[in-house]
Homo-oligomer: A and B are copies of this chain.
Amino acid sequence: MAEELTARAAVTSADVARLAGVSRATVSFVLNDTQAHRVSDSTRARVLAAADQLGYVPHAAARSLRAGRSNLVLMPASVSAVGRLVSAWLDDLHSELERHGYTTVLHAGRFPDAVGAARAWAELRPAAVVALDGDGLTAEAAGVLRRAGVRATVAFAARPAEGVYTIAFDHARIGAIAAEHLISRGRTTIGVVMPKERGLDTFARPRLAGAEGVAARSRASVRAVEMAYTRESAAELAARWRESGLDGVFAYNDEYAALLMRALQGEGISVPEDVAVVGCDDLVVAALERPALTTVRLDLPAPARIADIVHELVGTGKAPEMPGVEPILIHRQSS
């Protein structure tokens, strides 16, 4: 049996107007709660009853256009890049934005350039765009958003762009801190794991560059090693490890670190004796790994604070500056 879902014509505000015996403009005034126009209580009640009877839902974009305000906050999101650390934080941020009356949508589209992305986001007419991975957000893209009525563009990024409220977050610092630590532990040939998974490249590349920058100022060398988050890929990398001569590795994050560590142990390679391993994120299980995992912790700003900033920017176009994200090395037994 094939499922059949009969497509009926969508209900429009014209249908509501007809049933209520009022103009389409009046329907719009009532449903969008526009204060600029006076509508009698009885007319208002008739419109609401008609909308209810027909099951009419106003367009978010149309409503934002008429009321001069959207309640959407759009966050560009590659779902796989949202790890355990960030997912709990994001949930809290969504709750805090809800407290201010906003609804969050995560936009999963991928685009060849920043302006193309901004155009796609702008089509939803959000009040604000909040980008966790804001390094690609250009002044030109911010202009596209602004002209489409987006009132706040907030980004975590290494460098500020014009028209973007930037919270400093330099992924190169993460790689640099990990490399500095490994060098301080006497390691001279350091691998940096580059995940093969899509969407992680934008975070992995600056981490590698940061490690390379530190190595260039020391006698240590840094080399990128590709790895997918699968048992096969980790085992294959571990099988070739001895010939690689690597005595330290920054494994992108705690998940890749834990997986690689187990694969290395499976090959009889000791951590930290043969290879020192450093992860990132200080996930709940990092301290429970054997050996306990050295990691780089990222103290993200309180979600309530970000939500306040978004709300202030939407309302007034201004917000006080915020301190950036400063990574901290947590030294444990794996290094």
Query: Could you tell me if B124 and A105 are in contact, using CB atoms closer than 8 angstroms?
Result: yes
Verify if A61 is at the interface (C-beta below 8 Å from B): yes
User: Given A62-B61, A87-B80, A231-B288, are A5 and B153 neighbors across the interface (CB < 8 Å)?
Assistant: yes
**Interface pair A91/B98, CB less than 8 Å apart:** no
Q: A144 near B: Cβ within 8 Å? A: yes
Selected interface stretch from A186-194, A210-218, A241-249, A314-322: A314-322
Of the listed residues A62, A98, A164, A197, the one surrounded by the most CB atoms of chain B closer than 10 A to its CB is A62
Which of B82, B255, B320 is A79 in contact with, Cβ under 8 Å?
B82
- Does A110 sit within 8 A of B, measured CB to CB? yes
Q: Is the CB of B313 within 8 A of A284?
A: no
Residue in B60, B106, B229, B259 whose CB lies within 8 Å of A108: B106
Of the A-B pairs whose beta carbons lie under 8 Å apart in the complex, a sample of 8, sorted by A's number, is A5-B151, A10-B147, A55-B143, A59-B62, A79-B91, A98-B109, A230-B284, A259-B284
Since A59-B65, A105-B105 are in contact, a sample of 20 more A-B pairs with Cβ atoms closer than 8 Å, ordered by chain A residue number, is A3-B165, A8-B147, A10-B148, A57-B122, A59-B62, A60-B123, A60-B124, A63-B123, A79-B90, A79-B94, A80-B90, A82-B82, A94-B109, A98-B109, A103-B108, A105-B106, A106-B106, A231-B284, A262-B285, A290-B290
Which of A's residues lie within 8 Å of B, judged by CB? 1-8, 10-11, 54-63, 65, 77-80, 82, 84, 87-88, 90-91, 94, 98, 103-110, 119-120, 122-125, 143-144, 146-149, 151-153, 163-166, 197-199, 229-231, 255, 258-259, 262, 284-285, 287-288, 290, 313, 317-321
